[in-house]
């Protein structure tokens, strides 16, 4: 399987913020598909443990579009330091990955 596909994750405090980011990435054709789900997070922030209800975005795209996605997320995000992590998609159905490639900006 090609190493050209990635899934990026980021989290938002509010559902409307997650939807705003998702809509922008889809409209710019930087991502083919984005799923948004509620999660509970526990993390260190400014020398103390924090607990928050957040919304996680699973962003499917091609590796070559990462920089544009990171830039868009940073521009639209309300967090001082948003989580932006990319993971390789090491395997996937041929048809789905072809669809990702056909859907995103080339």
- Domain containing 26 — which CATH number? 3.30.70.120
pLDDT of residue 3: 75
pLDDT tens for the 106 residues of the chain, in order: 467 999 999 999 999 999 999 999 999 999 999 999 999 999 999 999 999 999 999 999 999 999 999 999 999 999 999 999 999 999 999 999 999 999 998 6
pLDDT of residue 52: 96
> Which residue has 């598909």 as its token pair?
33
pLDDT of residue 55: 98
**DSSP β-ladder status, 5-12 and 33-45:** unpaired
3-state secondary structure of 78: coil
pLDDT of residue 5: 97
* DSSP sequence for 7-43: EEEEEESSHHHHHHHHHHHHHTTS-SEEEEEEEEEEE
pLDDT of residue 2: 60
The residue segments making up the domain with residue 63 are: 5-103
Q: Structurally, how many domains does the chain consist of?
A: 1
């Amino acid at each position: 399987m090609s190493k050209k596909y990635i899934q990026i994750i980021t989290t938002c405090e509010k559902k409307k913020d997650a939807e705003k980011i998702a809509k922008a990435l889809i409209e710019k054709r930087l991502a083919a598909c984005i799923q948004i789900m509620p999660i509970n997070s526990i993390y260190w922030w400014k020398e103390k443990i924090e607990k928050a209800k957040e919304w996680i975005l699973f962003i499917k795209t091609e590796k070559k579009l990462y920089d544009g996605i990171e830039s868009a997320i940073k521009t639209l995000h309300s967090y001082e330091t948003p989580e932006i992590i990319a993971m390789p998609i090491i395997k996937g159905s041929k048809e789905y990955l072809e669809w990702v490639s056909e859907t995103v900006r080339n």
